Structures are given as structure tokens and as C-alpha cells.
Amino acid sequence: MEANENLAFDALSDRIRRRILNVLGEEGELSVGEIVAHIDAVGRTTVSSHLRVLRTSGVVIERKSGRNRYYSLDREGTARDAFTYLQSLLHAGLDAVETSTPRASDAEPEDRGRGAG
């Protein structure tokens, strides 16, 4: 089967998106405005666009609160699939490498359609 690393690698392939993930990994959970404040070289619209990709590909989680939307890493999401994929790819036939997998996923990416029509 085609696992979800596809989505993750696609999301991870962009530099700005990795930067966003780094920020979220350090800060934990941030509103869009806060993320924009951390990311320079691109505007708010672009960050919003990237957040959409990260969200629809199952890498981050969105939480609404008032006027804000807070984003955080989805450590159980597709990024983990990418991690697992790389693990099996790199460690195939080699010594074991312990890799925990605390499972508790209930979040699933939303629709990926980009304005169909």
C-alpha cells in the first residue's frame, strides 16, 4: 500500500514548512500570527498557505480558540509515517533500533482539494 509518508515527504520538502515545524517543535503551540512572527522572508498569506499543506497532509494539528487558530506538531501524524519509512529503509536487515510508538491517533487530515471549481 501507499503509506502516508507520501503526504509527509511532500510537506517536508519545503524549506519554509520545515522552519515552521522547527518553531512548533520548540515553542510547542503557536497561533498563526506568532508563527508568522517567527518566520521571516515570507508573508502571512504564504505562511497560511504552508500551514494548510502541513495540516491537510497530517503533520500538524489545528486548534481553534476565539479569533486565533493554534497549530502544533502532530507527533502521531504522517511525519511519523515518514520516520517509520526511513527507519525501515535505512535499517532494513540491520541491527535493531528501538523506536517507540505510543499510539493514540484520532486525528485525520482533512480534505485536500484546492477549491474544486
Partner DNA sequence: AACATCTGTCGACGTGCATCGACTCATCGT
Partner DNA sequence: ACGATGAGTCGATGCACGTCGACAGATGTT
Binds 68, which of a second copy, DNA, none (CB < 5 to 8 A, cut-off by type)? DNA
Residue with cell 515527504: 9
62 binds, among a second copy, DNA, none (CB under 5 to 8 A by kind): DNA
Q: How many CB atoms lie within 10 A of CB 48?
A: 13
d(Cα 112, Cα 85) in Å, to the nearest integer?
A: 22
Give the nearest distance from C-beta 51 to DNA in angstroms.
Answer: 5
Question: Residue 41 interacts with a second copy (CB under 8 A)?
Answer: no
Handedness of CA 47, 53, 59, 61 (dihedral sign): positive
Nearest CB to DNA, comparing residues 44 and 91: 44
How far does Cα 41 stand from its chain's mean position?
Answer: 20
**Other Cβ atoms within 10 Å of 77 Cβ, number:** 24
Positions in 13-72 near DNA (CB under 7 A): 13-16, 31-34, 36, 41-46, 48-53, 62, 66-70
Site residues (vs DNA, CB under 7 A): 10, 13-16, 31-34, 36, 41-46, 48-53, 62, 66-70, 114-115
